[in-house]
Structure 1
Amino acid sequence: MNVNVVLTRPDGRNDQLAARALAAGWQPLALPALAIRPLVQPGQCMPKPGDYDLVVFVSRNAARLYLDLLVGQSSGQAWPERTLAATVGRSSAQPLYDSSFIQDAQIVHPDSTARNQDSEALWQCLEPRLPAIRKVLIVRGESGREWLGEQCERMGIDVDRLALYRREPTLWNSSQAAALSQAMAVPESCVFLLTSSESVDAIHANISRLGLSRAWGRSRFVAIHERIASRLQSVLGATGNVEPPMVKVCSPSDDSIFLAISQMASR
C-alpha cells in the first residue's frame, strides 16, 4: 500500500520530515494547518532578559521570534548569566542551542526521553530552582495555556507575559485540496501529523469544507501529546465517527515523529 504522510506543521517546519518520508518510500504532502503571524515588529521595545530570573518560551516559534528581535536590539551583548531560559521540551529549545547566544548550562527543559514534554514536565525541572526565581517572563503566542504562569503566581513569583505571534488557520488552496483528495482515495493509507489542538481544529475545518470528513475518520494519526489525541477524538466524535481513531502519541522530536509514522504506516 502506498503511504501518504500529511505534514501539518507551519511553513518551514515540514521540510526535513518530508525528505525523510520520501527516502522511506512514502509520499509526503505538506499542508500547514496554521500560519504564524508575528505581532511585534523589529525595532519595537520589548522586555529584556536581564530584567528576569527566568524566561520561558512556550514553543519553538516563541524562542525563535524573541531571539531574532533581541539580537537586533542587543548590539552584540550576550544573554545575562543570571537569567535562565526554559522551554517545554528539547525540540522547542533548538533555536536557543542554535543561536550561540545563550550558554547551554542556562537552558532548562525536560529531558528528550521524558514521557511528556509540556508545562507540567517543565515545572518539575524548575521546582529545585524556584527559591532563586522572583520574576519570570513567559514568551508565547496570542493564546494558549495559562497553567505554568498560574503555578508561578501561586508561588509568589511575579509573572509577565509577552505575546509575539498569532496562529491563524490556513485555507488550503485548490492544488493542495486536489492532492489531498487524491491521497485520501484510500484513507487508510494516510498518516496525519498533529502538533497542537488548534491545528486539529484547523485541519478539521479544511477537511469538512472539502467533504472528506468520513474518509478522515478512517485515516491514521500521529500526535505529539495526549491532549492533542483527545482533541482529535472529540472532533471526530462530534462529526459522527463512533470508532476511535488510530492514533500514536509520541514526543515532538523529528526522530520520534518519524518512528511513530513508521509504526502507523506498517499497520
Structure 2
Amino acid sequence: MTILVTRPSPAGEELVKQLIAQGVSACHTPLISFAPGDALSNLPDYLNNLRPGDLLIAASQHAVYYATDKLLEECHGWPDNIDYLAIGEKTARELEKVTNCPVARPEGREISEQLLKLPQLQYVVGKKVLILRGNGGRPFLAEQLKKRGAEITFCECYQRHPIPYDGEKLYHHWQQMNVNTLVITSGEMLQQLYELVPERYRNWLLSCQLLVVSERLADLANTLGWKHCQIADNADNDALLRALQQI
C-alpha cells in the first residue's frame, strides 16, 4: 500500500515525512501552488473601512501569511478594535501572533459549519465581515453570514493555481508506486485529480481508498463515483495521520 498525499507544500511534504517515519509507504504530488492574490493591494483600505465591533475572518494560514507581508510592505497595522476569528488552530495561532489580539476559532472540526456556531457570529446584523481567503474560497461561510444580515467583503489574499502535469505519466508513476490510498483536502483538488487521470484509467482512480476532511467533500467524491471514502475528524496533519492509521 502506498498513500498519495496531494495537499500543497509544505504541509504535504511534512505529512509524507511523518508517514515514512512510521514505516508507511507514501509519496507527494501537490496539485496546487500559491501566488499573491489580485485583491491584496486593497487590504489596507478594507481594514480602514472596518468599524469597532466588526469582524475579520482568516480562512487559512496562507491568507494570514500573504496579508501580513502586504501590511508590512505598506507599513500598515492590524486594527485592535475588531473581533478576529479563524478557521483552524494553526491559522488562529498565526493570526494572534501578527495582530496581538485574541482570535476565536471553532473547537473540534476546522470547517465553516463549526465556525458559524461561535457566539461572535450569532448576531451580525449590520456588521461588516472581512474574509481573508484564497481565490473563490469559503462561499458557504459568506452565504450563511449574509443570511444573518452581515455585510461581507472578501479579500483575495492569495491565488491557488493548478500545477500542470501529464496525467498519463502520473498514472504510470502512481502504478509503479502501488498507490491505493489518496489524501484530498479540498473539493478543488478532488475535481482536479479526477480530471487529471485519463478516462481509461478512471476505474483505478475510483477504486482507491479516499481520505477527505469534510462531509461536503465526501458528498462530492460520492457524486464523482468513489466507493470507499473516509472522513478525517479534522484537516490538520495530525488528524489525517490518525485517520490513515485506521484504514
Shorter chain as denominator, the TM-score bin is 0.7 to 0.9
> Does residue 253 of structure 1 match 2:232?
no
> Does residue 57 of structure 1 match 2:54?
no
Deviations 1:52-87 (A, max 9, x none): 221112223222221221222236x4x322122212
Q: Among 141, 146, 155, which residue is 1:153 paired with?
A: 146
Percent of residue pairs identical: 20
Q: Which runs of 5+ in 2 are unaligned?
A: none
Q: In the aligned structure 1, how far is the partner of 2:125 from the partner of 2:138?
A: 24
In structure 2, relative to structure 1, the CA distance for the partners of 1:92 and 1:180 (3 Å cut) is farther
Q: Which runs of 5+ in 1 are unaligned?
A: 238-243
Listed as ranges, the matches of 1:63-82 within 5 Å are 63-74=64-75, 77=77, 79-82=78-81
Q: Kindly state the Cα deviation for residue 235 of structure 1 after the two structures are TM-superposed.
A: 0.9
Q: In the aligned structure 1, how far is the partner of 2:98 from the partner of 2:161?
A: 30
TM-score, normalised on structure 2?
0.84
Q: Kindly state the Cα deviation for residue 176 of structure 1 after the two structures are TM-superposed.
A: 4.7
Q: Is the 8 A contact 1:38 1:165 kept in 2?
A: yes
> Does residue 170 of structure 1 match 2:170?
no
Q: Kindly state the Cα deviation for residue 125 of structure 1 after the two structures are TM-superposed.
A: 0.8
In structure 2, relative to structure 1, the CA distance for the partners of 1:40 and 1:23 (3 Å cut) is same
- Tell me the C-alpha RMSD between the 2 structures: 2.7
Deviations 1:173-204 (A, max 9, x none): 577554312124xx5xx221110111111111
Alignment correspondent of 1:218: 207
Q: Is the 8 A contact 1:58 1:139 kept in 2?
A: yes
Listed as ranges, the matches of 1:130-149 within 5 Å are 130=123, 134-149=127-142
Q: Is the 8 A contact 2:218 2:229 kept in 1?
A: no
Q: How many residues align?
A: 242
> Does residue 109 of structure 1 match 2:99?
no
Q: In the aligned structure 2, how far is the partner of 1:26 from the partner of 1:145?
A: 33
> Does residue 95 of structure 1 match 2:84?
no
Task: Letter of the 2:238 partner, please give it.
Answer: D
Q: Secondary structure of the equivalent of 2:84?
A: strand
Task: Letter of the 1:86 partner, please give it.
Answer: L
Deviations 1:1-57 (A, max 9, x none): xx3121111232212111101101122211112232322488x34235353221112
For structure 1, which segment, 155-164 or 190-199, has the greater mean C-alpha deviation from structure 2 after superposition? 155-164
In structure 2, relative to structure 1, the CA distance for the partners of 1:263 and 1:88 (3 Å cut) is same
Q: Among 213, 231, 235, which residue is 2:224 paired with?
A: 235
Alignment correspondent of 1:86: 85
Alignment correspondent of 1:182: 176
TM-score, normalised on structure 1?
0.79
In structure 2, relative to structure 1, the CA distance for the partners of 1:65 and 1:126 (3 Å cut) is farther
Q: In the aligned structure 2, how far is the partner of 1:157 from the partner of 1:194?
A: 32
